Amino acid sequence: MDWVREELDRVAVYLESKTPLPSAAATIELEQKNRRFVHHTLVAPAGSAVSFPNRDPIFHNVFSLSKTKTFDLGNYRQNETRTVAFAKPGIVQVYCHLHPNMAASIVVTPNRWAGKPSQAGGVYRLADVPAGEHTVVVWHPSAGYFRKKIRVGPAPQTLDFEIPVDVDQP
Amino acid sequence: MRKPPFAWRVFILAFVPVCGVLVGSFTAVRMMMGEQVKEGLRNSLRQTHEFLVRTRAAQELQNTRILGVIAENPALKAGFALMRTAGAGSEAEARRTLEDQITEISQSLGFDLVLAADEENQWIAGIARQGQGWKHVRLESLGKENSGLMRLAGRTYTVTAIPVNLAEENLGSLAVGRVFDFSEFTTPAVLTHNGRVVESNVAGADKVDVQAALAGCGSSAECELRVGGETYLSLPVQKLNLGKGYAVRSLQSVDAASLPMERVMARVLRLAGSVAVLLLVGVSFVAAKSVVRPLTDLAARLSESRSVGDLKPVRIHATTREVEALAQAFNHAAGALKDAEGRLSAAYLEFIQSMASAIDARDLYTAGHSLRVSQYSCAIGRVVGMCDEELETLRVGALLHDVGKIGVPDAVLQKPGRLTEEEFEIIKQHPVTGRKIVERVEGFHKYLPIVELHHESYDGTGYPHGLRGDEVPREVRIVRVADSYDAMTSDRPYRKGMTHAAAMEILRQCSGTHFDPELVEAFASLGPNPLPAASLVSLAEAVGTAERVTLPELAKEWLK
């Protein structure tokens, strides 16, 4: 069931709310190793900086043409890194000029309640969510957005999402 | 040393040139067929070449198309751009990046060599397939050329290149190569670089052998070479753009191609050749025989004539003018000889007759005796079946039998009546005297027995030697009978000759003692007229009467 893990790695989970919720800016690494970004999808709360260290003995050139954030980090060598700050929430598709097969998605979330489901079981727990009306968003690069409203109270709640993906099953 | 027969010369003259022509025509046919085979090989080689050129062109086109797509790959362009911007110190990494890219690209495309050059045509990156993976190419070992054939680490690649442009700017070029594989050649071929053999798929020969064999060939000419125990016809492939210094020669085995022909030729040669040679031997033999036959005939006739001593005109059915002329020349010569011989024998006959006449002339009354004895003898000889030659000897011998009487004084010889003992002894000398005369005459030796022995008796009581029976030759015994008969039947001056019957009576009485019984009987078989009347010449009869002598007396006298 490797493909399940693979697909789960592409999935981002975050919270949308009418009232602004606080973010938690951080510096997050997305390594490039073996001509791949080590994750398909990276979740970064708005305001975070993402560092793209090159762990390959060859050059990489990370860039994005996404509306959320357009950048081109240029060619850089092994163990060098370039960092990009993502202020605006949205999806940023990241590529490498030199390696067309390299691709990653950076999901810049509006607040700090964001993450990726666990590899085992596909579970993600949003803790300490302020009470009130929110929307839980699940995103998958090819399946798109799945939204579910939730009224958060003191009791824990569970939401189930079904994400249809086309997988060439072996 | 014996000289070889003429027939041999004719045989050899007939056989050798035709044999030569036969061998020559076989050789010519073989050469022509060999040339035919070579022409076929040439065509096949040219077809191979055309196929090669077409295949190569098709491959080039395909390479160019694929390259065109690759060259538009933005990542690759980025790679080229990276190479330009990479500073000192990061060059190796940049090259690795580019090589990594082209490795990625080539993974699924079936190329064996991928090279990148910058805008100044300096190689900047290169990878070569090594087993399952790829290996960095040592760029220093690469030549300047970026298309055609390329030698790298003991391998030969066919390389096609295309420029890589970013917008209007040339970034460099990308070259892809496939291993130049002779194994896909169905025919043997050799690849040379500046005259050195770099690839070869000639069976049973390594590059060194092929190199050595090729040494004899020109640069672009058709050439025959011997490699690995086989002869090949080789043609350089034209119109195959392989790059500077490279040339491909394809080869075709002449041996393999001409083997079936050789087999057929060998069979034809064996069959037709042996038949032709046999026929030729036969024909030559017959020809030699036919040419020589008139000559050998002539020679045989001549040698026969020589041994017989008689030169008869040769009748030869001459089939050629020369032999006819030869035979005529011989006949002329023989005719001349024959004439000379005829004249000679006429003179000789004359001599004999004059001798015989001389004998008879001594005694008028015995005239014709020698002639008659000769005739009687011949008559007997014919009865006992003598041949012409024997009869001739008999005839002449009988004519001469009394030649010795020349030495007997007239007084004794012509004495009428009885002879005294001494006189008879003188008479008895005449055979020996005769021998002495005759043995001095050349060619008369065959008459000696008749002259010397005609008084020998069958029982050995005769003179001069007292020989008996077969010791005396038959012709002499014949003359003995004939002589006695004529003596008895001839008239003498002092007596009349006996009748035939009386004479025969005495001959019969004395048969076995004085005479050979067989010859007496032979004489008797002639009848009362032993000679045809016309041939009888009795002088005594012509003279007339003669004194009668009693039979016993006469017999006594003669038989002494």
**Secondary structure, 3-state, B397-435:** HHHHCCHHHHHCCHHHHCCCCCCCHHHHHHHHCHHHHHH
A78 and chain B in contact, CB less than 8 A: yes
Cβ-defined contact of A99 to B96 (cutoff 8 Å): no
pLDDT digits (tens, 9 = 90+) for B397-413: 888 888 888 878 877 87
How far apart CA B445 and CA B439 sit, in angstroms, is 6
DSSP classification of residue A54: B
Of the listed ranges A11-15, B37-41, B124-128, B298-302, the one predicted with least confidence: B298-302
Q: For residue A72, what pLDDT is reported?
A: 94
Helix (H) or strand (E) holding A146: strand A144-152
pLDDT digits (tens, 9 = 90+) for A113-164: 999 999 888 899 998 899 999 999 999 999 999 999 999 988 899 999 999 9
Q: Is the pLDDT of residue B287 over 70?
A: yes
Neighbours of A109 (CB within 10 A): 26
How far apart CA A54 and CA B542 sit, in angstroms, is 178
Which residues, 6 or more positions from B465, have their beta carbon under 8 angstroms from its beta carbon? B453, B456
Q: For residue B551, what pLDDT is reported?
A: 42
Chain A neighbors of B90, CB-CB under 8 A: 59, 77
The nearest CA of chain A is from the CA of B61 a distance in Å of: 27
Q: For residue A29, what pLDDT is reported?
A: 95
Helix (H) or strand (E) holding B320: none
How far apart CA B468 and CA A11 sit, in angstroms, is 166
Most confident of A9-13, B344-348, B542-546: A9-13
Q: For residue B536, what pLDDT is reported?
A: 45
Q: For residue A78, what pLDDT is reported?
A: 92
pTM of the model: 0.55
Q: Work out the pLDDT band at B203, boundaries 50, 70, 90.
A: confident
Q: For residue A145, what pLDDT is reported?
A: 95
The nearest CA of chain B is from the CA of A102 a distance in Å of: 11
Cis omega (within 30 of 0) for bond into A45: no
Q: Is the pLDDT of residue A93 over 60?
A: yes
- Partnered with residue B178 across adjacent β-strands are B158
How many CB contacts within 8 angstroms connect chain A with chain B? Answer: 40
B93 and chain A in contact, CB less than 8 A: yes
Question: In angstroms, what CA-CA distances link B306 with A22, B300, B309, B392, B404?
Answer: 161, 10, 5, 20, 34
Cβ-defined contact of A100 to B85 (cutoff 8 Å): no
Percent of chain B with pLDDT over 70: 89
Cβ-defined contact of B78 to A35 (cutoff 8 Å): no
Percent of chain B with pLDDT over 90: 6
What mean pLDDT do residues B25-30 have?
84
Best of A59, A72, A99 to disrupt the B interface by mutation (most B CBs within 10 Å)? A59
Q: Point out the residue among B73, B78, B90 whose CB comes nearest to the CB of A61.
A: B78
- Please, are residues A133 and A151 in contact by the beta-carbon 8 Å criterion? yes
Best of B93, B95, B124, B136 to disrupt the A interface by mutation (most A CBs within 10 Å)? B93
Cβ-defined contact of A101 to B73 (cutoff 8 Å): no
pLDDT digits (tens, 9 = 90+) for B481-539: 999 998 888 887 777 888 888 889 999 999 989 999 999 999 988 888 887 644 444 33
DSSP classification of residue B549: -
Q: For residue B184, what pLDDT is reported?
A: 67
DSSP classification of residue B495: B
Q: Tell me, what amino acid is at B515?
A: F
The nearest CA of chain B is from the CA of A78 a distance in Å of: 8
pLDDT digits (tens, 9 = 90+) for A35-69: 999 999 999 999 999 999 999 999 999 999 999 99
Q: For residue A114, what pLDDT is reported?
A: 94
Break chain B down into helix, strand, coil percent, rounded to 5. Answer: 60, 15, 30
The nearest CA of chain B is from the CA of A44 a distance in Å of: 27
Q: Work out the pLDDT band at B546, boundaries 50, 70, 90.
A: very low
Dihedral sign, Cα of residue A137, residue A138, residue A141, residue A143: negative
Q: What is the ipTM of this complex?
A: 0.82
Tokens of B306: 């020589």
Residue of B nearest to A78 (CA): B93
Q: Is the pLDDT of residue B557 over 70?
A: no
Average pLDDT taken over every residue of chain B? 80
How far apart CA B460 and CA B454 sit, in angstroms, is 12
Q: Work out the pLDDT band at B545, boundaries 50, 70, 90.
A: very low
